[in-house]
Amino acid sequence: MGRYVLALLAAAAFATLGCDAASGAADAGPTGCPPPAPWGYEVGDRLTNLDFADCDGQSVDLHSLCGRVGVVVAFYGWCASCPHYAELADSLMQEYGSRGLTALVVVVEDGLREPASAACCAEVRDYLGLTVATVIDPAHTLEAYGDTDLVVISDRGGHIVFKRQGPDDHAVRTAVEAALEP
């Protein structure tokens, strides 16, 4: 229960941070990367490509995850558990990055429920001390996969192997470990 109190406090902090209304191609991956169409949004589907800009304006797309196990986390500035999931993605990247994991935190809205800006993205990244790629999605394109508390995991071939909305660190970690198995 203490974790959720901390998450609520972190969400409140984002609302006051000034985080308010104010395509990079990956190295060639394995055969079939990026995954060919048809794409989709559910477990078993090939990851639909979406384009974002990172906090510094550089292009990043979901197919850049191909060839690595990918963890994608949606972040909303008003969401109590979103800071936790962003930090979980960062922790997983630090723990499993050398085994082929990459993570992406997608900042969708600020603390006032306005579309995220590059400045908001940078504040989220810096406030949480994130080392993973942090991008903005002001058009809400990630919501095709789901919205708050969203974690999507793709395998090395770009297939969705896990999608969850709602807190369950154990399920996320288990899915990552299974996707990293040879």
The C-alpha atoms of residue 37 and residue 41 are separated, in whole angstroms, by 12
**Residue 93 clears pLDDT 50, i.e. is over it:** yes
Please state the pTM of the whole predicted model: 0.82
Q: How far is residue 53 CA from its own chain's centroid?
A: 13
At 12, list the tokens: 């409140």
**Residue 3 clears pLDDT 80, i.e. is over it:** no
The C-alpha atoms of residue 96 and residue 78 are separated, in whole angstroms, by 29
Which pLDDT does position 44 carry in this prediction?
92
Which pLDDT does position 137 carry in this prediction?
95
Which pLDDT does position 32 carry in this prediction?
61
Count of CB atoms situated within 10 Å of the CB of 152: 26
What the chain holds in terms of domains, given with CATH numbers, is 2-180 (3.40.30.10)
pLDDT confidence band for 63 (50 / 70 / 90): confident
Which pLDDT does position 31 carry in this prediction?
53
The C-alpha atoms of residue 171 and residue 56 are separated, in whole angstroms, by 32
The C-alpha atoms of residue 69 and residue 11 are separated, in whole angstroms, by 28
Which pLDDT does position 116 carry in this prediction?
95
Among residues 58, 56, 122, 70, which one has the least CA distance to residue 101? 70
Virtual torsion, Cα 98, 43, 135, 65, nearest 10 deg: 40
**Residue 27 clears pLDDT 60, i.e. is over it:** no
Which pLDDT does position 34 carry in this prediction?
72
DSSP-assigned letters across all residues of 31-69: TT-SPPSP-BSSTTSBBPP-EEEETTS-EEEGGGGTTSE
**Residue 178 clears pLDDT 70, i.e. is over it:** yes
